[in-house]
């Protein structure tokens, strides 16, 4: 069974988010290791960096 276009787009968006999430988590761990008191919303930052947004998926 072949995936539909919107399913492929969703998987690509999710893959990008997970990669950005991994990078953001590493950054958070580095900040934590330095014992800096910096508020860092790493999940939100990862979402922004991934370029993912609900409007990026189009049904075809």
Give the per-residue pLDDT at 28: 81
Q: Quick: pLDDT tens for 2-60.
A: 999 999 999 998 998 899 889 988 888 888 888 777 776 777 777 787 776 655 555 55
Give the per-residue pLDDT at 44: 78
How do the domains of the chain map onto residue ranges? 5-52
Helix axes 42-50, 5-33, angle to 10 degrees: 140
Contact assessment for residue 20 and residue 49, using Cβ atoms and an 8 Å cutoff:
yes
């Amino acid at each position: 069974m072949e995936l539909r276009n919107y399913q492929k787009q969703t998987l690509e968006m999710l893959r990008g988010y997970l990669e950005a999430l991994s990078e953001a988590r590493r950054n958070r761990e580095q900040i934590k290791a330095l014992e800096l008191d910096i508020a860092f919303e790493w999940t939100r930052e990862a979402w922004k960096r991934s370029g993912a947004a609900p409007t990026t998926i189009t049904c075809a």
